[in-house]
Amino acid sequence: MTISRRQLLGGAALGLGGAAVGVGATSAVAASTAAPAPAQGRETEPFFGRHQSGIQTPAQAYAAFAAYDLGSDATRETVGRLMRLLSDDAARLTQGEPALADLDHELSMSPARLTITFGFGPNFFNIIGRPDQRPASCAPLPAFRIDALQQEWSGGDLLIQVCGDDPMSVSHARRMLWKDSRFLATQRWLQKGFLDARGSQDTGATPRNLMGQVDGTVNPKTMEQFDSRVWSDGSPQWFDGGTMLAVRRIAMNLDTWDAVSRADRENTIGRRLSDGAPLTGSTEFDAPDLAKVDARGVPVISDFAHIRRAHTGGGAPFLRRGYNYDQGVTAKGTSDAGHIFTAYAADLTKQFLPVQQTLADQDLLNIWTTPIGSAVFALPPGASEGGWVGQGLLE
Q: Name the fold adopted by 46-143+150-248+377-394.
A: Alpha-Beta Plaits (3.30.70)
pLDDT at 337: 98
The 10s digit of each residue's pLDDT in 297-346 is 999 999 999 999 998 877 789 999 999 999 999 999 999 999 999 999 99
pLDDT at 204: 75
**C-alpha span between 190 and 78 (Å, rounded):** 23
- Is residue 236 reached through a cis peptide bond, with omega within 30 degrees of 0 on the bond before it? yes
Domain ranges of the chain: 46-143+150-248+377-394, 254-376
Eight-class DSSP state of 141 = P
The 10s digit of each residue's pLDDT in 269-286 is 999 999 999 999 999 999
* H-only helix segments in 135-248: 167-181, 223-229
- Catalytic center residues: 215
Please enumerate in sequence order all residues whose Cβ is within 8 A of that of 20, keeping only pairs 6 or more positions apart, or say none.
Answer: 3, 8, 13, 84, 88
Question: Cα dist. 152→29, 40, 139, 324, 394 in Å?
Answer: 42, 36, 18, 18, 28
Question: Cα dist. 136→211, 304, 376, 380 in Å?
Answer: 34, 31, 12, 14
- At 2, give phi and psi (nearest 5°): -95, 125
pLDDT at 40: 77
How far, rounded to the nearest angstrom, does the alpha carbon of residue 389 sit from its chain's CA centroid? 16
**C-alpha span between 1 and 149 (Å, rounded):** 49
Read off the amino acid at residue 265: R
* H-only helix segments in 280-347: 306-311
pLDDT at 266: 97
Positions of the chain with pLDDT under 50: 1-3, 6, 11-31
Other CB atoms within 10 Å distance of the CB of residue 355: 20
Max CA distance (Å), the chain: 77
What residues does 389 pair with on adjacent strands?
none
Beta strands in the chain, from DSSP E residues, in sequence order? 62-70, 115-120, 158-164, 185-194, 243-252, 319-320, 323-329, 335-345, 369-379
